[in-house]
């Protein structure tokens, strides 16, 4: 199963208002996404699994066309999750 390290970004106050953000409030280290695909999404800062077995081509784009952000429940960083890689 391939691991995909996500892009970690810093948000300023204005950008935070314009982005869709999924806050992972699950216990530390527990992925917010779980599926039956072949890809694992890793936090770009600490490599905690954010998405486990994400299907190919699953979109994560909000209105406005910007990638959805997911917080890491281990280190708190914001990770861009644009889409699952295609084969």
pLDDT in tens, 7-62: 998 888 888 888 888 899 999 999 998 889 888 999 999 999 999 998 876 666 66
pLDDT in tens, 60-73: 666 667 788 899 99
Tell me, what's the pLDDT at 15? Answer: 82
Q: Are 58 and 68 in contact (CB under 8 A)?
A: no
Spatial strand order of the sheet with 68-71 comes to 7-9, 78-81, 68-71, 21-22
Q: Are 53 and 38 in contact (CB under 8 A)?
A: yes
Tell me, what's the pLDDT at 59? Answer: 63
């Amino acid at each position: 199963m391939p691991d995909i390290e996500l892009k970690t970004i810093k948000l300023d106050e204005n950008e935070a208002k314009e982005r869709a953000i999924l806050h992972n409030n699950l216990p530390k280290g527990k992925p917010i996404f779980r599926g039956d695909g072949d890809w694992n999404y890793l936090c770009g800062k600490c490599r905690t699994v954010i998405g486990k077995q994400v299907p190919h081509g699953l979109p994560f784009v909000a209105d406005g066309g910007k990638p959805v952000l997911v917080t890491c429940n281990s280190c708190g960083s914001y990770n861009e999750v644009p889409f699952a890689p295609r084969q």
